[in-house]
Amino acid sequence: MHTTSNSAGIKTILICLAIGVFAVGTEGFMIAGVLPGIASELNVTEAVAGYLVTAFSLVYAIGSPILTVVLAPAPQRRLIGLAMLMFALGNILAAVASSYGMLMLARMVLAASAGIFMPAALNAAGMLVAPEMRGRALALVNCGGAIALMIGVPLGALIGEIAGWRFSFVLVAVLSGAASFVLLSRLPELTFRAAGTLSERIKATRHSEISTGLLTTLLWAMGINTLYTFIAVYLRQVAGIAGEQLGIVLFGIGFTSAIGAYLGGVATDRWGAPRVRVAAIASMACIYLAIALLGTTAPLQGPLSTVALPALMMICAGVAWIFYAAQQVRLLQLVPPVSGAMVVSLNASSMYLGFASGAVAGAAMLQGGHITSLAWISAVCEFAGLCLLIATAIPRWLGPDVVEPTEGKA
């Protein structure tokens, strides 16, 4: 639904929401690059420092849906702006943390505020524009996360290397603080905030396609992170890529992710979310299969694998963001606006649980000495997600009245 007729104003708001997503993505991913510095200064092992990542993921995955439901009656403009302000304060707390426990508390505050901001922001982006423009709006906001991978994470890690890890958190605090100010002053009030009871919000998420969609998101994310978590190890051992070459590959992955986030919105608006997400996850499954086959025979391929493996990974990253854009639009199509934030938060939780599962699966393969199995697991996960989408689509193929979207219904 439109809340303002000023298209330029809406675009400005969407950009501000994207900046917030950029801040969340930068903080969430850059910590991996500064963990050694954190462990050294706070006198803990790197393994213990790694629990800062685990804590963030768990608090986000579990807390986001709960907080979204509890805070649903709040005015959305204020909720979005204050959540981003809370995120800024969390980064300040992390920057001045004098102990591991204090930094752990800061990461939990960051996860909770991100878990409030992300679903509300994405739902707002979808509601600020007409339905036929929803894919582009979500793609613009999602670009913030993709650009975080391309620019924010390397920049945060670089600042941490030069000036210390605390300044990395200061950088994100300044960025998110500025975004919160603009959002609180410019974001219009969203009229759908007061509609629907708590039971109605929860009931709206029981749609069969939503439940299978969330499971698909989990499988999709697990497939991505099984390989991506250990991409440095994989490329070094399989293709001999390390150092500056690895940096170029990671930048390329961020670049194609940003392009994919944009193209996902355009494609979804043009061809529809169901078609785009099936095509995207099918493409990912085939690409991971190609990576697995090439990785298994890499020693025989020589220079071919050095070029082909990174190229396939970059392409797959772009396609992954195309899927995610279409997935968000499809889930929002299946519920009334009042339940949009709830569904988006559940989708994000599924994604984080999938990321965690992928990291665990990948670690198990590495411990067993089966590094080339990482891509095979990724391919199996994406094929499983594809099968779920096809199985869910069968009722729609049988008749238009079997699955009825609830978009716009209260």
d(CA 182, CA 176): 10
Mean predicted confidence (pLDDT) in 239-258: 79
Cα–Cα nearest to 17, from 124, 109, 99:
124
With bands split at pLDDT 50, 70 and 90, how would you rate the model's confidence at 249? confident
Q: For 274-283, give one letter per residue: b (16+ CB within 10 A) or e.
A: bebbbbbbbb
- Comparing 130-139, 207-216, 306-315, 351-360, the range with the smallest average pLDDT is 130-139
Q: Which pLDDT does position 190 carry in this prediction?
A: 64
- Dihedral sign from CA coordinates of 27, 218, 342, 69: negative
Mean predicted confidence (pLDDT) in 198-210: 68
pLDDT tens, position by position, 290-304: 999 988 876 555 677
pLDDT tens, position by position, 150-168: 777 667 767 777 788 898 8
Q: Is the pLDDT of residue 194 over 60?
A: no
Q: Is the pLDDT of residue 400 over 60?
A: no
Q: Which stretches does DSSP call E strand in 291-380?
A: none
Q: Are 100 and 42 in contact (CB under 8 A)?
A: yes
Beta-carbon contacts of 224 under 8 Å, excluding residues fewer than 6 positions away, are: 320, 354, 355, 358, 378
User: How many other CB atoms are found less than 10 A from the CB of residue 272?
Assistant: 15
pLDDT above 90 covers a percentage of the chain that reads 25
Q: Which pLDDT does position 257 carry in this prediction?
A: 85
Q: Is the pLDDT of residue 265 over 60?
A: yes
Q: Are 124 and 3 in contact (CB under 8 A)?
A: no
Place of tokens 């996960």: 381
Q: Is the pLDDT of residue 274 over 80?
A: yes
Q: Is the pLDDT of residue 3 over 60?
A: no
Residue 397: exposure state from Cβ atoms within 10 A (0-12, 13-18, ≥19)? exposed
With bands split at pLDDT 50, 70 and 90, how would you rate the model's confidence at 10? confident
Q: At what angle do helices 231-239 and 303-333 cross, to 10 degrees?
A: 150
pTM here is: 0.73
Q: Which pLDDT does position 25 carry in this prediction?
A: 83
Q: Are 52 and 96 in contact (CB under 8 A)?
A: no
Q: Is the pLDDT of residue 199 over 90?
A: no
Q: Which pLDDT does position 203 carry in this prediction?
A: 66
Cα–Cα nearest to 24, from 152, 189, 137, 132:
152
| 32 vs 239, more confident | 239
* Average pLDDT value for the chain: 81
Q: Is the pLDDT of residue 398 over 70?
A: no
pLDDT tens, position by position, 83-141: 999 999 999 999 999 999 999 999 999 999 998 998 888 878 877 777 777 777 877 78
pLDDT tens, position by position, 71-97: 877 887 888 889 999 999 999 999 999
Highest mean pLDDT among 48-52, 94-98, 178-182, 204-208: 94-98
Q: For 29-64, give one letter per residue: b (16+ CB within 10 A) or e.
A: bbbebbbebbbeebebeeeebbebbebbbbbbbebb
Q: Which pLDDT does position 5 carry in this prediction?
A: 45
Mean predicted confidence (pLDDT) in 220-224: 93
H helix and E strand count, the chain: 17, 0
Q: Which pLDDT does position 282 carry in this prediction?
A: 97
Residue positions counted in the chain: 410
Mean predicted confidence (pLDDT) in 383-395: 88
d(CA 357, CA 322): 22
| Domain annotation for the chain: domains and CATH numbers | 1-194 (1.20.1250.20), 201-398 (1.20.1250.20)
Q: Is the pLDDT of residue 376 over 80?
A: yes
